[in-house]
Amino acid sequence: MNNLRRITATLAASLALVAAGCGQGNPSAPKTEAEVLGTSATTALGRVDGPLVVAVGDISCPPGSAVSALACDQSATARLAAGYRPRRVLVLGDSQYDSGLLSAYRNSYARTWGAFKSITKPVPGNHEYLTRGASGYYRYFRDQQAGAPGYYAFNVGAWRIYALNSNCDRISCTRENRWLGRNMAAHPHRCSAITMHHPRYSSGEHGSNAFLRPMWRTAMRHHTDLALAGHDHDYERFAKLNAFGEPARAGIASFVSGTGGRGLRDFATPVTGSVVRDSSAFGVLALRLGKAAYAWEYKTVGGEVVDTGTGRCT
pLDDT at residue 32 in the model: 31
Task: Please tell me the distance from the alpha carbon of residue 149 to that of residue 173, in angstroms, as a whole number.
Answer: 10
Give buried/exposed letters for 85-118 (b at 16+ CB in 10 A, else e): ebbbbbbbbbbbbebbbeebbbbbbbbbbbbbbe
pLDDT at residue 274 in the model: 98
With a cut of 60, say whether residue 15 has pLDDT above it. Answer: no
Give one DSSP letter per residue of 149-211, joined into a string.
Answer: T--EEEEETTEEEEE----TTTS-HHHHHHHHHHHHHHS--SEEEEE-SS-SS--SSS---GG
pLDDT at residue 16 in the model: 44
Section 126-140 average pLDDT: 97
With a cut of 50, say whether residue 298 has pLDDT above it. Answer: yes
Section 120-143 average pLDDT: 97
With a cut of 60, say whether residue 28 has pLDDT above it. Answer: no
Q: Express each pLDDT in 254-283 by its tens digit.
A: 999 999 999 999 999 999 999 999 999 999
Three-state DSSP class for residue 17: helix
Strand-pair partners of 213: none
With a cut of 90, say whether residue 1 has pLDDT above it. Answer: no
Task: Please tell me the distance from the alpha carbon of residue 151 to that of residue 196, in angstroms, as a whole number.
Answer: 9
11: pLDDT confidence band, cut at 50, 70 and 90? Answer: low
pLDDT at residue 148 in the model: 87
Residue 136 identity (one-letter amino acid): G
With a cut of 50, say whether residue 224 has pLDDT above it. Answer: yes
Mean pLDDT of the residues in the chain? 90
With a cut of 80, say whether residue 156 has pLDDT above it. Answer: yes
25: pLDDT confidence band, cut at 50, 70 and 90? Answer: very low
Residue 80 or residue 11, greater confidence: 80
Q: 135: closest CA among 167, 103, 157, 182?
A: 103
Q: Express each pLDDT in 39-61 by its tens digit.
A: 344 689 999 999 999 999 999 99
Task: Please tell me the distance from the alpha carbon of residue 84 to that of residue 52, in angstroms, as a whole number.
Answer: 8
22: pLDDT confidence band, cut at 50, 70 and 90? Answer: very low
With a cut of 90, say whether residue 171 has pLDDT above it. Answer: yes
Q: Express each pLDDT in 98-119 by its tens digit.
A: 999 999 999 999 999 999 999 9
Whether residue 98 is preceded by a cis peptide bond, meaning omega within 30 degrees of 0, is yes
Task: Please tell me the distance from the alpha carbon of residue 179 to that of residue 218, in angstroms, as a whole number.
Answer: 10
pLDDT at residue 42 in the model: 61
pTM of the entire structure? Answer: 0.88
Residue 161 identity (one-letter amino acid): I
Q: 178: closest CA among 221, 136, 139, 147?
A: 221
Give buried/exposed letters for 10-46 (b at 16+ CB in 10 A, else e): bbeebbeebeeebeeeeeebeebeebeeeeeeebbbe
pLDDT at residue 271 in the model: 97
| Residue pair 220/243 in contact by the 8 Å Cβ criterion | yes
